[in-house]
Amino acid sequence: MYIRYQSSVPNHRAIYPRVFGLANVLAHKGQLSDAEWVTWRSGNDWFNAAYPDPTKSIPDIYDPQVNPRAAAWFKGTATHLLERVEPYLELLKRHDVQVVRLISDDPGKIIYEDSVQIVVVPYGAST
């Protein structure tokens, strides 16, 4: 089982940003309170240290020409990561950013995998 938290609507590039990207937009636009900024920053620092960045081993993994609509999904067994998503969900809810939780046994063609996540290209995706 794989789990993904993402925007309920696509962005201007027809991509459904993941929960981290949504929170990053709020932070970079200066829309977070001081307390929210601390929560966001410490959360990002923790996640950055907690698991591998797929772009370190495959730099163009999210390039839309190479892997259209590539998206990362948590493995259901990565409970230590999934438990730490809640503060992001709460932050986004306070800012009226709609997030959906997706669950799938087969979200697409796997183009990257490690112990806690996969990156897939959804079936039927094209440039």
| pLDDT beneath 70, residues of the chain | 126-127
CA–CA separation, 51 and 59 (whole Å): 16
- Strand 71-75 relative to strand 99-104, pairing: unpaired
Which tens digit of pLDDT belongs to each residue from 61-70? 999 999 999 9
Name the token pair of 115.
């112990």
Tokens 């960045």 locate to: 53
How much is the pLDDT for 14? 81
Name the token pair of 55.
């772009």
Name the token pair of 126.
């094209």
How much is the pLDDT for 100? 97
